[in-house]
Structure formats: structure tokens, C-alpha cells
Amino acid sequence: MAQTLAQKLLQAHTDETIKSDGQIVQCRVSVVLANDITGPLAIKSFRGMGAEKVFDRDRIVLVMDHFTPQKDIDSANQVLISRRFAEEQGLTHYYEGGEAGVEHTLLPEQGLVKPGDLVVGADSHTCTYGGIGAFATGMGSTDIAAAMALGETWLKVPPTIRVNIAGAMPADLRAKDLMLMLIGMIGVDGALYKALEFGGPVIDALSVEGRLTMANMAIEAGAKAGLFAVDAQTRAYCAEHGSPCPDAAIAADPGCAYERVVAIDVTGREPVVACPHLPGNVKPVSQVGSLPVQQVIIGSCTNGRISDMRDAAAVLRGRKVNRKVRCIVLPSTPTVWKQCLKEGLMEVFMDAGCIVGPCTCGPCLGGHMGILADGERAVATTNRNFKGRMGSLDSEVYLASPLVAAASAVAGEIAGPSAL
């Protein structure tokens, strides 16, 4: 049968013949991932089920990124549990301190995930790796414990929504805008337990970093995975990051059956913003109104890569952050941080009056290094804006691209780059 990209990727990891969506199949996993919040829960379950050794010490990845640098005793103990487990099991890929970065930027950058892989992670944004043609999805810590022990998991083959994006891409539109537009169209449950498969001329031209951004937010539409075909751009990215990549393209078969096809034309579109308190509450930036902001966050697993830093710096260069705004810039890995330094972006950020911090998830989940007070409003390049997500239950978070976030920091209110 002609297979969707989701079916094709899962078929490569199971001995069962995939015949239809909804079928439950036992699959071999390529990589198992956890972090400083979810890792200890998985380790507790691992021990509780009587497991003694992980299935492959080279394919378990633990990244200390959410509450690090450790903000208090509880977060320090979380890391301690993970560190001791990594030492006990002899894990090859344990990242902490100066080697750590935001996990979903770190793994592709370090070549730990490759096209065609099946990746499961104890973090909902594990779906990021679909940007390089891997089937990647988040799971609960108990399922991750079983995968660490067995190297296998079961999955229900998801039906697929095909998303075709075409038109003339405006200069100030980014991948984040494209994904927010889609979520605004279909809703936060519009792809519940489905795969989103992206294609069309705009996607063909989109950078791999842009694809990773879009795949990252597939879960914000309820999706099990967000998938991009493997093409020349993917192969070039993988070669740059030391990850083997098949010579042949990995793509859906012609004539495969999609549950639904969604078309988006970006011609003439302006940047968008997701307003509180859902990623689906999307408006063009010009329709949001002149809302003052007290904080801007540029970073996270969604938009903390070097292309995002360059976008933010392009807006901030020669300008000053409004004195009423805290603009916090968090490059997502040490490699991104050093590249910012090499290109002079750090000087741009600091001359503009930004706070430049370490490679951490920090404020995205209301962890630390950027907590909102009562009544404060933030523009963030993160992926969620639920009530209380970044601090006070009386605060507000607006999601946007780095271009819009940086422009808002300068304007002191929600604004697109054209407003400057």
C-alpha cells in the first residue's frame, strides 16, 4: 500500500506489516531521551520494574536543561539522581553544566538523531526531530523507563493531516509564524493523536532550523508527530552536524491516503502572535493592539538556534530595549552561544540592554531566570502560553517569532519589525 511518511517511518522499526492507521505495532527505538524533570521519574519506574541495565548505553540521552543551572535544593537533587544513574549505567550521552543545552536543539546539533530514527522522549516537545525526518514523540516517564530497559515500545499508527504551504514568503515571516497560523486554523486539538506532514513550495525552501521550529510545536495542535520529508537540505544539515543521512529521499508515497489536507497561502501575510491563553488564539500582529510589555524572552527549544539569534540581533542592532522591558536572551546550546560570540551578536544584545543568560529552558516553563509578576505581560519565542505558564496566574504570555519579540522589546509594546 502507498504509505504516508508516518507509516513509512514506523514500518522501518517494526516487523509487523502496517496495513492501516490505528494499528498498534511494537517498534524498536533509536534514541530514548529524558531531562532533569522527567528523568528521575523514569529512573524510579526503571528500578520499580526490576530493570538493572539499559538496553544500550549509547542510545539513552539525559540532558539537564529545565531547572539548570540548579535554582534550588530540589532541582539540585533532581540532577543528582540523573547524574548518579548515568554514572551507574555508563551512559555515553549525559549532559550537564557547560556541556548541556536545551535538549531539542542539542540532539540534532550533536548528530544524536538522524533521519529515519524513531525517538521517544519524556518531554512533549520531542516531536521536534520530525524536522529532520525522524518519527519522534513524547511519552510519559513510565513508558520511557520501559523503553530504556527494552529498547522497544508500542505505538498506534497515527492518521496523517497533510499541510501544504505555498505562496510568496514575505521577508518578515518566519517558520514560527507558519506554525502559529496552522494552529490558529485547526485549533489546539485539531491534530489530536495524528501526524502533521508538511510540504509545498514554502516548506521545500525552508531551512532545517525552521523545520525544527515547526515540528517542535506540532504538539501544540495535539499531534503525535510533526514530519518533514528528507531532502537535500536535510542531508546538508546532517553532514554539517556529523549525522549519517541516507542518500535517497525519505518521503510519503504518491497516492497515499491522508485524513485531511490543509492548504495555507502565505502571500501578503504579516507576522502573527498567539494571544493568551492558548497557542491557537492567533492574530496578525497589527491587530493585537498597543499592549505594553514588561518582559521579552528570546530562546527555548522552539527559537533558540543561531538563525533565531541572528534574527533578533538584526532588529536590535543599533537600537535600545525600552527601559520598561526586561529582554532576556538565552541561546539554546553552548555551540549557539559561541557562534553568537564569534559573530558579534552578544555585543549587539548587550549594547541594546538585553540580559544574556545561560543555555537553559528556564523561563519557558516558569522555572527561573524570567518569572512574571502579577499583571505582567511577556512576548516570548517559546511554545506555550497557558495561564500561569511563565509565573503569576495573573500574567500573560504572547507567543511570537524572534523578529516580533525583538521589535516588541524595542517598542515597549507588542509590535512587528515593520513598526520600527
CATH code for the domain in which residue 386 is found:
3.30.499.10
User: Can you give the pLDDT at residue 47?
Assistant: 96
What does the alpha-carbon distance between residue 310 and residue 207 come to, in Å, rounded to a whole number? Answer: 14
Cβ partners under 8 Å of residue 368, min gap 6: 67, 71, 360, 362
Same domain, 12 and 146: yes
Residue 420 lies inside a defined structural domain of this protein: no
Query: Residue 161's closest CA among 282, 231, 263, 272?
Result: 263
Same domain, 143 and 107: yes
Q: All 3 cell numbers of residue 405? A: 519579540
Cα of 226 vs its chain's centroid, Å:
11
Taking the model in full, what pTM does it have?
0.95
Same domain, 238 and 325: no
Domain's final residue, options 231, 265, 299? 265
Report, as an integer, the average pLDDT of 93-106. 95
Encode pLDDT of 67-88 as tens digits. 989 999 999 999 999 999 999 9
Whether the per-residue pLDDT at 103 is higher than 80: the answer is yes
**Length in residues, the chain:** 420
pLDDT band at 1 (very low <50, low <70, confident <90, very high): confident
DSSP 237: H
Same domain, 14 and 144: yes
Whether the per-residue pLDDT at 243 is higher than 90: the answer is no
Residue 190 lies inside a defined structural domain of this protein: yes
Encode pLDDT of 335-381 as tens digits. 999 999 999 999 999 999 999 999 999 998 888 999 999 999 999 99
In sequence order, the β-bridge partners of residue 32 are 60, 120
DSSP 81-142: HHHHHHHHHT-SEEE-GGG---HHHHHHHTT-S-TT-EEEESSGGGGGGGGGT-EEEE--HH
User: Can you give the pLDDT at residue 118?
Assistant: 98
What does the alpha-carbon distance between residue 119 and residue 125 come to, in Å, rounded to a whole number? Answer: 11
Category of 192 on φ-ψ map: left (φ > 0), alpha (ψ -120 to 50) or beta: beta
**Residue 93 neighbours by CB distance under 10 Å:** 18
Same domain, 290 and 313: yes
Report, as an integer, the average pLDDT of 174-181. 98
Residue 79 lies inside a defined structural domain of this protein: yes
**Residue 5 neighbours by CB distance under 10 Å:** 26
What type of residue is 79?
V
Q: Are 294 and 378 in contact (CB under 8 A)?
A: yes
pLDDT band at 249 (very low <50, low <70, confident <90, very high): confident
Q: Is the dihedral of CA 158, 161, 165, 171 positive or negative?
A: negative
pLDDT band at 246 (very low <50, low <70, confident <90, very high): confident
* Domain that includes residue 325, residue range: 272-415
Whether the per-residue pLDDT at 290 is higher than 90: the answer is no
